[in-house]
C-alpha cells in the first residue's frame, strides 16, 4: 500500500480482488482510495501506478535508486503495466494506438465479464486471474472504462428515483434499515417514518464479495456497538457533521443506480472468445 496509495491526495486507481483460496465466488472492485485490508477476504490490489519516494535517505542519491518515472511531489511514479505487456497487446491486435490505460480498463472489463467468471470459476478460486487476448478488445476497453467511472464516482451519481413513502412526521435518522420480509426486496423500511419503494430486481444482480451492493449498505449503515471496546458506530454522525440529513437516503438511491447501470454494462459485454 505505501507504493500504491502513499498519501491521501496521490492519484491512483487499483483493481481489487480476493486472493487465491477465497470462499466466495469471484468478484472485483476498483478503488481510488486506500482499501480495507479485508475488502475481499484476503485482498490483493493491482494498481495503475506505483510510487517510490523521491526523498534521499542515508546519503543515497535519488537518481541512484530511481531509474525511470514521472516526478510527482515527493514521489516518482510509473505505470504498473510494463512496456513488454504493451508491446504484446499491440502486436497481437496489430494496433499501435493501444495505450497502457486501455489495457488497464480492458482487464477490468474482462474480470467483470460473466462468461469469463463462469468459464474459469474453479481456477479463479485457486489462483490469480489470467488475462486472455479476447477477440473484441475495444468492447472490453469501453465496458471496463464505463464500469470504472461508475464505481469510482458512485457518490456523485444521480440518485435512482425510488418512491419515498412518508408516514407521520418525516425524519432521516436511521437505526437499522431492513426489507419488509425475506421475500420482498422491492422496498426498504428506512425508519418508522420513511419507506423507499420501487427497487428493481436487477439491483440484486450486482454482487460484490458474495452479496449485493445494496445489501452491503444496509448491513453497514446501522447503529451498532462493539462488545469488547464498547465503541458505538453511528452512521447518523456523518450526516450531522456534514450538515446533510439526506446523505444515507441518497446513498441508498445511488447504490441502486450504480447496481442497475453496472448490470446493464456487464450484460452488454460480448461473450469471451479468444
φ, ψ of residue 71 in degrees (nearest 5):
-75, 125
pTM: 0.91
Look at 26-35, 36-45, 114-123, 186-195 and tell me which has the smallest mean pLDDT. Answer: 36-45
Give the pLDDT of residue 246.
Answer: 96
On whether the CB atoms of residues 159 and 254 are closer than 8 A, the answer is yes
Give the pLDDT of residue 61.
Answer: 55
On whether the CB atoms of residues 32 and 10 are closer than 8 A, the answer is no
What CA–CA distances, in Å, run from 158 to 19, 200, 254? 33, 16, 7
Give the pLDDT of residue 64.
Answer: 45
Cell of 6: 502513499
Is the pLDDT at 239 greater than 90? The verdict is yes
Is the pLDDT at 152 greater than 80? The verdict is yes
Instruction: Return the exposure string of 197-235: e unless at least 16 CB atoms fall within 10 Å of the residue's CB, then b.
Output: eebeeebbebbbbeebbbbebbeebeeeeeeeeeeeeeb
- Find the radius of gyration of the CA atoms of the chain: 22
Give the pLDDT of residue 57.
Answer: 65
**Mean pLDDT to the nearest integer, 13-22:** 90
**Mean pLDDT to the nearest integer, 39-54:** 91
What CA–CA distances, in Å, run from 199 to 176, 203, 264, 268? 18, 7, 15, 21
Is the pLDDT at 241 greater than 70? The verdict is yes
Give the pLDDT of residue 213.
Answer: 96
The mean of the pLDDT values for the chain is 93
**pLDDT of 159-174, one tens digit each?**
999 999 999 999 999 9
- Reported confidence tier of residue 22, pLDDT bands at 50, 70, 90: confident
Cell of 204: 440484486
- Reported confidence tier of residue 60, pLDDT bands at 50, 70, 90: low
Beta strand segments in the chain, E: 14-18, 28-31, 43-47, 49-53, 70-72, 75-79, 163-166, 187-191, 194-197, 207-208, 211-212, 224-225, 232-233
Distance, in Å, from the CA atom of 270 to the CA atom of 72, rounded to the nearest integer, reads 38
**pLDDT of 61-74, one tens digit each?**
555 444 578 888 88
Q: At what angle do helices 100-112 and 137-152 cross, to 10 degrees?
A: 80
Higher pLDDT, 4 or 67: 4
What CA–CA distances, in Å, run from 206 to 167, 185, 210, 257? 30, 14, 10, 11
Cell of 107: 482487464
On whether the CB atoms of residues 27 and 209 are closer than 8 A, the answer is yes
Look at 25-29, 89-93, 190-194 and tell me which has the smallest mean pLDDT. Answer: 25-29
Higher pLDDT, 7 or 67: 7
Q: What angle do CA 92, 136, 103 make, to 5 degrees?
A: 60
Amino acid at each position: 500500500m505505501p507504493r500504491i496509495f502513499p498519501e491521501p491526495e496521490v492519484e491512483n486507481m487499483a483493481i481489487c480482488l480476493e486472493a487465491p483460496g477465497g470462499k466466495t465466488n469471484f468478484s472485483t472492485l476498483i478503488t481510488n482510495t486506500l482499501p480495507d485490508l479485508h475488502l475481499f477476504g484476503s485482498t490483493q490490489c493491482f494498481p495503475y501506478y506505483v510510487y517510490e519516494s523521491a526523498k534521499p535517505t542515508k546519503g543515497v542519491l535519488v537518481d541512484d535508486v530511481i531509474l525511470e518515472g514521472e516526478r510527482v511531489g515527493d514521489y516518482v511514479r510509473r505505470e504498473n503495466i510494463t512496456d513488454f505487456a504493451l508491446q504484446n497487446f499491440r502486436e497481437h491486435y496489430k494496433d499501435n494506438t493501444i495505450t497502457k490505460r486501455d489495457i488497464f480498463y480492458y482487464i477490468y472489463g474482462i474480470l467483470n465479464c460473466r462468461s469469463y467468471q463462469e468459464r474459469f470459476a474453479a481456477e479463479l478460486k485457486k489462483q490469480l486471474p489470467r488475462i486472455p487476448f479476447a477477440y473484441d478488445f475495444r468492447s472490453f476497453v469501453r465496458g471496463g472504462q464505463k464500469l470504472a467511472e461508475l464505481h469510482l464516482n458512485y457518490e456523485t451519481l444521480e440518485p435512482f428515483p425510488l418512491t419515498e413513502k412518508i408516514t407521520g412526521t418525516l425524519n432521516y435518522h436511521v437505526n437499522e434499515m431492513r426489507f419488509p420480509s425475506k421475500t420482498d426486496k422491492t422496498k426498504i423500511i428506512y425508519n418508522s417514518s420513511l419507506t423507499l419503494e420501487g427497487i428493481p430486481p436487477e439491483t440484486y444482480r450486482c454482487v460484490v464479495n458474495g452479496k449485493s451492493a445494496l445489501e452491503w449498505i444496509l448491513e453497514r449503515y446501522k447503529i451498532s456497538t462493539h462488545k469488547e471496546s464498547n465503541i458505538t458506530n453511528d452512521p447518523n454522525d456523518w450526516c450531522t457533521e456534514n450538515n446533510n440529513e439526506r446523505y444515507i437516503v441518497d446513498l441508498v438511491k445511488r447504490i441502486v443506480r450504480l447496481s442497475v447501470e453496472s448490470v446493464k454494462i456487464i450484460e452488454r459485454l460480448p461473450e469471451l472468445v479468444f
